[in-house]
Structure 1
């Protein structure tokens, strides 16, 4: 019998993994920075992540989404992962967590 995985627990595991990925220009992880707009997990344990970048001209526009996808795929329960980039709404400092603002001396 196939083991049933709680998608909420898997979602928490995904967020933990996202918090290990840092924007190379800002010493804050991409989750606290507000670059992750949505994390969706379906019943087949396929993950879709909707994220943005700090700007369309971001130097890591090619590599950061691939890093996110690879790290999420490295989670044992995840069968597949897809990262979609959007600029709607555009990223702003308002999307940063209090923790990120504190880290960057913005509070």
Structure 2
């Protein structure tokens, strides 16, 4: 009986330590796009194997991300009518904002 009690305590302690040490992904580790994609209120479309992503938020914003030949383009059309574009090509970042 004594060995059964000690064995069960050891197994309990090991199981608690394994559960507490596992890698849990926090929202802080996610990018803005990943948080938008995980939101159930947003409409997400992924095309061309992930090269084109379109997200429509509940607020009416529309975000498009596209990859062409190593070049990334992000276009944000906001519900208030403003627009911004970001283009990344060979490490060079170009930002254009229309209000």
TM-score, length-normalised on structure 2? 0.25
Structure of greater Rg: 2
Larger strand share, 1 or 2? 2
Relative contact order, higher structure (CA 8 A, sep 6+): 1
TM-score normalized by structure 1?
Answer: 0.24
